[in-house]
Structure formats: C-alpha cells, structure tokens
A and B are shown apart, each in its own frame.
Chain A
C-alpha cells in the first residue's frame, strides 16, 4: 500500500464532511456570539470591573486606567480597568453580560445603556445623581446634557463627554478662493464653488469602511433645517419636508462637485489626509481636528454655525456616558466608583488626551481647555444648538443604536453623496430600511 492510498483511506467521506461542516460553520460561530466574555479582574471581593473604550490615543487609556485603579472605596473596594475594542463591542458586552462576566461599570456605545436597560441589565444611576447634587458636581453639568438619560424608571447612565460635530475650515483656502465663510446654505454653496476652483472641497465628508462622518453630515443637515429622523413623539418621520429639502441641498452640493466624488469610500484616515493635504476646505468633523489631523499651522479653525433656509441653526452631538450594570459585587461600590471617576475626569482634559467636549463647566474653564480658541468657540456657539440623534424629539432610546451606524443610514448617506438617487427616493429607502430594524 502506498502513501497515497493510505491517505485516501483515512480521508473518508464522513471525515471529510465533518471537516467541511466544521470549517463552513465559521460564519455561524461568528454570528452566534463568543466574544471575549471574561476579561479578568474578578468582580468578587469588592473589585468593581470598569470597562472602557479606546476613546482616543493609547495615552488616554493609560491615564484612564491610572484613574480607575486609584479608586479606593469606603468599604475597601477597588476597581479594575479593561479596554474593550470597538470592533464587535456590542457582541463583547452582550456575551459577557449574558454569562455574568460583564463589567459593573462601563463606558460604551452612545445608546448602549438604553439597549441593556430594555433587558433589565442596567442599574439606575439616581443615587449617583443624588451624590453629585450633594458634592456640587450636579450644578457643574453643562445645560441639557443630563436630561436625555432620564427614563421613566430613572437615570440609565451619566454623561461624561460630548462627541460634537461642528464645521471646520481651512483659513488659507478661503483666502486663496477669495470667498467669505458660509453663514447659511446659499453662502455654503457659493463658498463650495469658489473652493472647487482652487482644488478644494467645500463639504468634506466620508462614508468608507468604519467612517460614520457622512452619516453624521446627513443627519446634521436635516436637524440644521429643523428636521430630523424622528418626530417629537419619537416616531419615525423621515419624509418630512425639511428633510427632503435638506437632502435636495446636499445633492445640489454633490452635483456641483463640492463633495469629493471619492468621499463615498473614504475612511476617517483618508478624510484626515484630505484635511491635512489642503484638499478639504470646509466640512463637519469632531472636536480637536488639528490634533487629529496633525496640523500645527493654526490654519484649521472652527467655523460659525450656519443657518438653514427657515432660520434654524443646529448640529448633532453624541452624549457619551458611563453606565452601571445590575451584575456587580456591590451596587454601593459601583456608585461610589462612578462618583469618584466623574470627579477625576478633569485629568484627561488637563493632559489634552480627549477629542471631545467635557460635560462639566469647570473643565471647560480650565486653562488647558480654554486656551484653545477652537474649544471656546465650540462650547460658546455650537454646544447650545446641539441636538441628539433623537431629533426632532429629545428622548434617547434603544432604537437610536440601530440608526447610529446601522446599514440603513450608511446606505442612505452613500446614496446621497454619490448622487445615485433623488432625495425623496433615497429617504423612502432609508425609511423602509429603518422600519425593518426598529423595535415597535
């Protein structure tokens, strides 16, 4: 018997099918959970497991770890720190919570607290709010940042930073194009045409892999026109006239070449490169763009909010939050840790590690923050007009997670910035897509 026939004998049909089924089951395994369930740390013995996301550079996580591990509770409780990557984060949290190995306290997706509240996994933060009232931090919150987290049963989470979207511009390009900064939609169109003549784009965005800025730009333009995805009662309201008008305007920007035709495929890195290389003249971005882009020329500046055709002024904001879970070694320790952590947040802005706005007035007044005129302008001019994804309503809920980064919104924004459909058709498709995933 030669080696070949021996191999053939051992390579039986049944064995082969078994192997094939095992290999083919990879997508099933991927789809049915199995993320990093236990991340060490324990949870017993009074150790509060704190899970945090990579909100900025690794230096941020080092600083946050140091703060968390500096906690020492009244009853001797400690805190452990674990970074959770954004990839598959919902799966990671879900599987860990399901197996009772999840955190006691965490940051996470903007609407994560509402998703887990539905499943009874969230510990309400009303006692934390009471403690913040007692220590004076409650009055330190910027106006309106806490309200979105109050549900009928209590506070589902406590905000700790505001991920704001504001218009930025490159001053030298406007000078080169000899055009004024936009103050409203017609002047945005005019500026875009002028920037195009000097080889720059007047509505910088991106909708490639992992890039949500086009999604945010679309919703921002809707709310900037007094529209939004939901009505005041929280019902889907995409086909309203304001949204149609906003998307028709964006399509006009596209047809005039004011949006980069390659933007549909841009990752955030591609988009940052456009800003750095002087191809981006004006567009929606986050806080701290010069630091993110790596431009120290002082040429990148925050623009003024623009006015919609009906006089509305608005942008969008993601109030990121810290939530507590029912699975904790001690609810008292979780609450104590959360109050402690909120009290230490200023260190992150002092060290200039954050690409977001603080939620506390006292931090906005710190020299490390207030010395940057861009930061001051955002707090003064943009924060007061910022609205959440729940607009035109104001109540956050679990459905917003399906909107934020879901297939429907991404496909919609890609359709718009490629100019592949008219506004009403694109909105109708968007509405149908959302209807199929939103919980009734």
Chain B
C-alpha cells in the first residue's frame, strides 16, 4: 500500500469518516423564532440572568471599586485611580509570584494532561481489576484537598518522614522537600499534578469513548503504525477536549489557593507564593484591600486572554 493511500485513509479517519462512508453534512439551518417564542425565551432566561448579575456582576463591580480605592474591607477609602495597580506592578513580590504561578500552571496543565492521557489510554485496554483501578485513580481528585495535603505533609515534611528517610536509606542524602525553596516548588507542582490528573484522565477518557473504533480499523487497513494512529488519529480527535481541559486546568492552576497554602503556606521565603496566595495575604494578612484586589483583577485579565487564545485553537480544531 502506498503512503499516499495510508495518508488518505488517516485523513478520512481524522474526519470521522468510516470506510465507505461519506461523512456527515452538517448543513446549516436557519430558524426564525416567532415573537411569542422570543418573549417566552426572554422570560425564561430572565431569572438566570438576574442571578448571574447578582452573583457575579455585583462582586465584580464591588471589586473594581475596591481596586481603585484605598481603605479596607469594611470602609472603602478615597479614589486612587490606578495607583493600586501601579503599586502591585512595581512590586518585586508580584513578579516573583507571577513567575511561580506561570511555572506552576505550565507544569500543572501539561503534567496532569500527560499523566491523564497515559492512564486514559491504558484504561482503554483490558487490564485485570480495571474498574477497581479506575476508582483508585480517581481518589486524588475525590479526596478533600485538606486531607491529601496533610498526607503529603506527613510524607515529606520532616527529615524522618517516609520519603526523606527513603532517600537517606538509599544513600541519597536527606532532602528537605518543603524547606528548600527549589525542592518546595517542585513538590508543590508534583502535588498539583497528582491532584489533577484524574480530572484530565476523565476528560480524555470521555473524548476517547466518542471516537468510532472503525476509524482505527480503517487506518490499520491503510497501513498506519500504532504511533501514526496515536499522533494522527487519537490526538486530533481529542483535540477539542484537550483544549477545553487545558483552559479549565489553566484556570484551576492560576486560581489554586488550597494546594499551595495548605502544603507550604507560600514559603519558604515566598518560594511557592502564587498570585492568588499573594492576593489573599495582601488582603487578609496585610489588610491592603486595594492592592490585593488589583492582583486578582490582573489575574482575571490574564486568564481571559489565555482562554481566548485557547478558544481560538478549539475553533481551529473544529474546522475541517
């Protein structure tokens, strides 16, 4: 079989076209709602809109007020314009936290995606006690973060904890996983991956389940190797789910307070202080509401930009 035939088979498979099939048309259908239906639609939607405005709109506006004023949680002070933002943006602590947040997010998103992808693929095969295995794999996601962070603390915190003791017995010294700034950063990121991979695994498993297995048969008949099938069928067909999971995980990572705060409190010496931890400390420990909310605003704006970029990728992946 020529490579051209194989490529053509893979291309058809990527489009979800079964052998001999013609694919789905996806025709566009315009429908006009009647005036009555429009009014009904409006009234049905109204309660949700009101709730959204109350739950999200009011706090956003209130936060915007706090970010542009001095004062504290109880009493909003004078209007200071963008001073809180300039205070934050000229603070080394902000940029250090931004840097850590970036790494935490990159490792959190791609680390959990890779582990989740590997396990989702593994779970497609028949393995002994597969269902039990699936349940066990979901545990890190299911267990409350306060419990898992305590468990991790027991595992690594003191020189006599299980993992440092293991290193010592292997003659590898006694690493202080939470006391050394670099090791603490790595530990927090690994913890995040551990907590998050089940979510990724579920997203990818769901995407894989919707893939018609006949496309693999078609590709196989056209001579595609398992690697070619993985890179040119599996990955493209789960691309939409992948991008959506990346968006969600990016938001989860940037906004993740408990994972970091419970394990290291942002230390040692701010080595694991992320932007959300910094915002929390600024508002609730230093009582500097304006700068703290300004940090939260900057985070939100960044997240929206990242999400838009990834959303464009989703649209691209949907266009055939």
Contact = CB atoms under 8 A, between A and B. Distances in A.
Contacts of A5: 24, 26
A265 B176 contact: yes
A17 B315 CA distance: 13
Contacts of B248: 23
B253 to A, nearest CB: 12
Contact of A264 (B66, B74, B179): B179
Given A26-B255, A33-B73, A264-B267, A21 B300 contact: yes
B296 A402 contact: no
Interface in B18-34: 24, 26-27, 29
B269 interface: yes
A69 B265 CA distance: 37
B285 A407 contact: yes
A310 interface: no
- Specify the main secondary structure of chain A where it touches its partner: helix
Interface stretch (A91-99, A177-185, A371-379): A91-99
B267 A274 contact: no
Interface stretch (A41-49, A130-138, A411-419): A411-419
A21 B56 CA distance: 9
A407 B261 CA distance: 13
**Residue in A30, A270, A273, A402 whose Cβ sees the most chain B Cβ within 10 Å:** A30
B269 A414 contact: yes
Contact of B311 (A16, A94, A97, A267): A16
Interface string A99-126: 0000000000000000110010100000
B160 A265 contact: no
B267 A207 contact: yes
A91 B158 contact: no
Contact of B300 (A28, A261, A415): A28
Given A2-B26, A17-B308, A265-B184, A25 B60 contact: yes
B158 A266 contact: yes
B261 A209 contact: yes
B251 to A, nearest CB: 5
Nearest to A5: B26
B6 to A, nearest CB: 25
Interface in A233-273: 260-267, 269-270, 273
B75 interface: yes
Interface stretch (B38-46, B198-206, B227-235, B287-295): B287-295
Interface residues of A, number: 66
A407 B93 CA distance: 11
A266 B263 CA distance: 10
B176 A261 contact: yes
A1 interface: yes
B195 interface: no
B270 A411 contact: yes
Contacts of A16: 307, 311
Contact of A31 (B29, B153, B261, B296): B296
B179 A20 contact: no
A115 B74 CA distance: 10
Contacts of A94: 72-74
A273 B284 CA distance: 29
Contacts of B179: 261-265, 418
Interface stretch (B119-127, B132-140, B275-283): B275-283
Contacts of A98: 73-74
B160 A277 contact: yes
B299 interface: yes
A91 B251 contact: no
B112 interface: no
A208 B264 CA distance: 6
B110 interface: no
Contact of A208 (B63, B157, B280, B288): B157
B114 interface: no
Nearest to B25: A1
B223 interface: no
B26 A31 contact: no
B303 A95 contact: no
A88 B287 CA distance: 12
Contact of A265 (B60, B157, B311): B157
Given A31-B279, A98-B74, A119-B74, A265 B264 contact: yes
Interface string B72-94: 11110000000000000000010
B178 A31 contact: no
Given A28-B293, A207-B267, A119 B75 contact: yes
A154 interface: no
A197 interface: no
B196 to A, nearest CB: 16
A90 B286 CA distance: 11
Nearest to B175: A262
A170 to B, nearest CB: 16
B247 interface: yes
Contact of B265 (A1, A33, A209, A418): A209
B286 A210 contact: no
Contacts of B255: 24, 26-27
Contacts of A301: none
A31 B288 contact: no
A5 B240 CA distance: 12
B286 A406 contact: yes
Contacts of B157: 208, 262, 265-267, 270
A32 B153 contact: no
B62 A32 contact: yes
Contacts of A153: none
Contact of B251 (A2, A23, A28, A88): A23
A258 to B, nearest CB: 15
B284 A91 contact: yes
A209 B62 contact: no
Interface of B: 24, 26-27, 29, 52, 56, 59-60, 62-63, 66, 72-75, 93, 153, 157-160, 176, 178-179, 184, 247-248, 251, 255, 257, 261-265, 267-270, 275-276, 279-289, 292-293, 295-297, 299-300, 303-304, 307-308, 311, 315, 318
The 10 A-B pairs with the shortest beta carbon distances in the complex, nearest first, are A209-B265, A265-B178, A24-B303, A32-B63, A94-B73, A27-B296, A20-B307, A437-B286, A31-B296, A264-B268
Interface of A: 1-2, 5, 8, 13, 16-17, 20-34, 88, 90-91, 94-95, 97-98, 115-116, 119, 121, 207-211, 260-267, 269-270, 273-274, 277, 279, 401-402, 405-408, 410-411, 414-415, 418, 420, 436-437
18 contacts: A23-B303, A28-B296, A30-B279, A121-B74, A208-B265, A261-B159, A263-B179, A264-B268, A264-B269, A265-B179, A267-B157, A270-B158, A274-B158, A277-B160, A279-B158, A402-B285, A406-B281, A414-B267
